[in-house]
């Protein structure tokens, strides 16, 4: 027997429903008999106690399985349209598929499954569709069969997102489910409902600023650990996804878990979510297992409409050198020359902003000889009179983002000279990210805001998206958010680069190593943007 030892306000009215039973909960909760399923179609046979991980499908190794899997389940409406069904049927099919995936995760021993169920932008959809989704979420949280299955499989369920704008009955149902399952130790299912990655960062910033203002924190206390304790995912044992699956062929992260996805491997499936089968999820996991996860590691062109800012993670210099029997230094030198080629091409093609991830805060863990060479190479490229003359002649503006405080004085001076000499230029704006980290960018913005609150220049209520973006290092750009991110070498992750700014960016992953990229390869990446159907909250933009 399952006893619910907690209560809601006296005016609460939560219904726990089944096909034959309906329970109305008011203040005190009756005991609920846990059921079992004997369905021949069940992916997991339900029973008392935690689910036991089964043998993995062929090709998967348990030691290489992701601990945290996140899913952007895209394509419900298109699936319905293709099958001549209503939008409601599409969402219902997606709901059934996520239940199926939940059972698979239990079988395969995955620890955390996070599902992007409803974004803050989805409110722009037709009212009838939104109302149906809210009813579906309410039924999900109150249907007796669901609660029984979560209990039988030892599943813990949590919800993240802004609950203040959802209905009172749904808020109460969410509370019931979280309380009922909080002691379960099996799969942790996190449902992102009315969630936004940027809003998550903003609410963390507001909380930290309030604590600074009341004296519970000092600005100097603000670091990665403090910040992560304020994010909504702090309740998960493994808060950062190892693998993100997005369906329907779209290649962007749509403002989902921006901080948390800093080092996540990305998998983009072409199938619509309701069409995903067990083999498709297995394929996604197989793609994850062989990945080498590293922490640190004059042509006239008509650009696609809306493409103003291109960002590049230029990956593969060391592998390129190894493949050619050359030194690592020669690989980096080849990458530097290729960046100069890309810069000239972007000037010719009319790109407004080009941001280059040149050196991350994690790259300091590399061999000292390699790091010293990179710093020398940056000084050579930036301090070269020939390069300075070319960039001035072509009207390029150059800015640098990242923590400059630990760079050599000579390099800091060269950066300042380049920025000053080019700041009035109106052509291509090249932003070089040196000793940069997306998380550090968010942290320094949070510290700055907290200081201003403490000094009385701001109130916590003043903190919003526009204010936060003014504190990010990319505020120097006319178009601070990349439209397209190009990453080379076949890796599919963002590596802690521009996390806030990439919320709605389209991704292009090139298999070639960066020094091997040619003009045609860059053009192919840019032209891929033309075929993308960009949507904001499900609406075309």
The catalytic residue positions are 315
Going by the DSSP 8-state scheme, the letter that residue 352 receives in this structure is S
State both tokens at 330.
């020669």
Give every CB contact of residue 214 below 8 A, 6+ residues apart in sequence: none
Partner residues linked to 353 by β-bridges = 309, 429
- Whether the Cβ atoms of residue 517 and residue 487 lie closer than 8 Å to each other: no
Nearest to 194 by CA among 160, 235, 171: 160
Which runs of consecutive H residues, i.e. helices, occur in 309-367? 317-323, 328-349
Judged by DSSP in three states, 317 sits in: helix
Give every CB contact of residue 106 below 8 A, 6+ residues apart in sequence: 44, 51, 53, 153, 155, 186, 187
- Whether the Cβ atoms of residue 113 and residue 102 lie closer than 8 Å to each other: yes
Whole-number Å distance between alpha carbons of 89 and 83: 10
State both tokens at 456.
């009385």
State both tokens at 82.
């293709």
- Whether the Cβ atoms of residue 167 and residue 134 lie closer than 8 Å to each other: yes
- Burial class of residue 58 in the structure, from the number of CB atoms within 10 Å of its CB (0-12 exposed, 13-18 middle, 19+ buried): exposed
Q: Which pairs count as long-range contacts for 409-416, CB under 8 Å and 24+ apart, including other chains?
A: 410/379, 410/383, 411/375, 411/378, 411/379, 411/382, 414/378, 414/379, 414/382, 414/383, 415/382
Radius of gyration (C-alpha) of the chain in whole angstroms: 25
């Amino acid at each position: 027997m399952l006893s619910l030892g907690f209560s809601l306000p006296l005016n609460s009215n939560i219904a726990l429903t089944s096909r034959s039973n309906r329970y109305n909960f008011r203040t005190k909760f009756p005991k609920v008999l846990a059921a079992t399923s004997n369905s021949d179609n069940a992916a997991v046979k339900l029973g008392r106690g935690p689910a036991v991980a089964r043998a993995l499908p062929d090709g998967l190794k348990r030691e290489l399985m992701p601990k945290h899997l996140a899913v952007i389940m895209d394509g419900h409406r298109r699936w319905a349209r293709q099958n001549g069904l209503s939008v409601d049927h599409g969402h219902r099919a997606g709901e059934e598929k996520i239940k199926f995936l939940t059972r698979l995760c239990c079988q395969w021993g995955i620890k955390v499954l996070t599902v992007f169920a409803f974004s803050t932008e989805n409110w722009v959809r037709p009212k009838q569709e939104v109302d149906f989704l809210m009813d579906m979420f309410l039924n999900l949280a109150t249907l007796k069969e669901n609660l029984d299955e979560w209990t039988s499989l030892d599943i813990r369920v949590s919800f993240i997102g802004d609950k203040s704008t959802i209905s009172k009955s749904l808020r109460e149902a969410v509370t019931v489910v979280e309380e009922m399952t909080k002691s379960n130790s099996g799969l942790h299912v996190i449902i992102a409902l009315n969630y936004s990655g940027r809003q998550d960062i903003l609410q963390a910033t507001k909380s930290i600023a309030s604590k600074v203002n009341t004296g519970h924190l000092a600005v100097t206390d603000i670091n990665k650990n403090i910040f992560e304790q304020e994010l909504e995912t702090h309740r998960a044992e493994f808060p950062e996804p190892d693998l993100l699956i997005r369906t329907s062929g779209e290649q962007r992260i749509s403002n989902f878990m921006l901080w948390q996805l800093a080092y996540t491997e990305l998998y983009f499936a072409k199938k619509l979510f309701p069409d995903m089968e067990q083999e498709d999820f297995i394929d996604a996991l197989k793609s994850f297992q062989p990945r080498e996860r590293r922490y640190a590691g004059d042509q006239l062109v008509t650009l696609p409409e809306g493409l103003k800012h291109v960002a590049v993670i230029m990956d593969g210099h060391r592998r390129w050198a190894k493949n050619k029997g050359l030194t690592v230094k020669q690989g980096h030198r080849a990458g530097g020359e290729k960046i100069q080629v890309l810069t000239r091409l972007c000037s010719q093609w009319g790109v407004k902003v080009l941001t280059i991830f040149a050196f991350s805060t994690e790259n300091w863990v590399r061999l000292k000889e390699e790091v010293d060479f990179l710093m020398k190479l940056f000084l050579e490229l930036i301090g070269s009179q020939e390069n300075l003359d070319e960039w001035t002649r072509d009207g390029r503006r150059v800015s640098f983002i990242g923590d400059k405080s630990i760079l050599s004085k000579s390099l800091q001076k060269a950066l300042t000279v380049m920025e000053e000499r080019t700041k009035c230029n109106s052509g291509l704006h090249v932003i070089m990210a040196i000793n940069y980290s997306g998380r550090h960018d968010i942290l320094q913005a949070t510290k700055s805001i907290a200081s201003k609150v403490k000094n009385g220049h701001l109130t916590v209520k003043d903190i919003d998206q526009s204010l936060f973006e003014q504190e990010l290092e990319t505020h120097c750009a006319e178009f601070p958010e990349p439209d397209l991110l190009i990453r080379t070498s076949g890796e599919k992750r963002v590596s802690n680069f521009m996390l806030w700014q990439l919320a709605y960016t389209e991704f292009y992953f090139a298999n070639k190593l960066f020094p091997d990229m040619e003009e045609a390869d860059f053009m192919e990446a840019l032209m891929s943007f033309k075929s993308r159907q960009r949507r904001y909250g499900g609406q075309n933009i």
